[in-house]
Every structure is written in structure tokens, then in C-alpha cells.
Structure 1
Amino acid sequence: MGAVSTVTGMNERYNPFTGSLVEADLDAPVPAAAALGLEPPRYCEQCGRRMIVQVSPDGWWAKCSRHGVIDAKSLERR
């Protein structure tokens, strides 16, 4: 997931696990469970909004009201 260009022309990216704005030169902290692939993102990286998340035995999907759906399989292809 990349950065989104805002009206002012700045690129903003949000931490998908905390929803906080990520500084341009700093890496966002990633919880240990998320680093192992056990925790799905809870916030949209493009806008920071809380997403609807559904976890199943074979994966997960998350839906942002503004930016649509992502799932575990789509992130594996990157």
C-alpha cells in the first residue's frame, strides 16, 4: 500500500495497526504478531480510518469505507 497525495500536495501514510500518521523518514512500528503475519491491518494506510475486518481460518479481509477491500492474498502478491 502506498502513499496518497492530499490536496496540499503532501504524501501521507498511516500505520495500518495504530492509525497514526507515519513520518516520512521514520519506519512505523509493527506489532510482533503483525510481523509474523498473524494480525491483519485495522486501519487504512491511505486515510487512517478504522476498517471493517473479517478473519477466517484461511485468511482475512479488511474494508475501508473510502478505499475499498484488501485481503491477505492481495498483500502476498506484492
Structure 2
Amino acid sequence: MPTPDPAAVPANSPTSEIPYCGHCGEPAASPHPACVARLSLEPPRYCPQCRRRLVVQVLPTGYRARCSAHGDLA
């Protein structure tokens, strides 16, 4: 069975792997403790599926993040 194109896999899919850190955009092969701490306070800046920069809108109740390839992130 062919491997799906990462750009075709929805970012909020529960079966999708997270190959990139949402804060620094580097490969998430090993944990990034500083990034995990910052992501608890800030919205993600990079798509965890394709490493593209996200369009982020900060709201009083949270944030909205959108990837140009994957759409809205949950």
C-alpha cells in the first residue's frame, strides 16, 4: 500500500504522526522540553505535518491556526 502524501493527510487526523515541532519547526524525533513549555502558553507557529508557517490569529478565548496545505488545526 503506498504511503500517503503528508500534504494530503489532515493535520488534525488522529492517525497522523507529528513529524515536526509546532513551536520551532524542527523534526520532533526527540522531545523539545523548552518548546513543549512554550506551546502550553503560546499558539503553534509551524504546521506539525509539513513544517509550513501557520497563519495564527490570537483571540481573547484562544487562537485559530491555519496551514496553507492542511487547513485549520484543532
Letter in 1 for 2:58: V
The answer to whether the Cα contact below 8 Å between 2:23 and 2:38 also exists between their aligned partners in 1 is no
- Alpha-carbon RMSD across the aligned residues, in angstroms, is 1.8
Q: Does 1:21 align with 2:21?
A: no
Letter in 2 for 1:22: A
TM-score where L is the length of structure 1: 0.64
- The structure with the greater share of residues assigned to strand is 1
Shift, 1:33, TM fit: 3.6
Residue ranges of structure 2 left out of the alignment (5+ in a row): 1-11
Shift, 1:32, TM fit: 2.9
Question: 2 CA distance for matches of 1:18 and 1:63?
Answer: 16
Structure 1: 4+ residue segments shifted above 4 A: none
Please name the residue that 1:46 is paired with. 49
Q: Does 1:60 align with 2:66?
A: no
Shift, 1:31, TM fit: 4.8
The alignment-based identity, stated in percent, is 42
Question: 1 CA distance for matches of 2:38 and 2:24?
Answer: 13
Residue ranges of structure 1 left out of the alignment (5+ in a row): 4-11
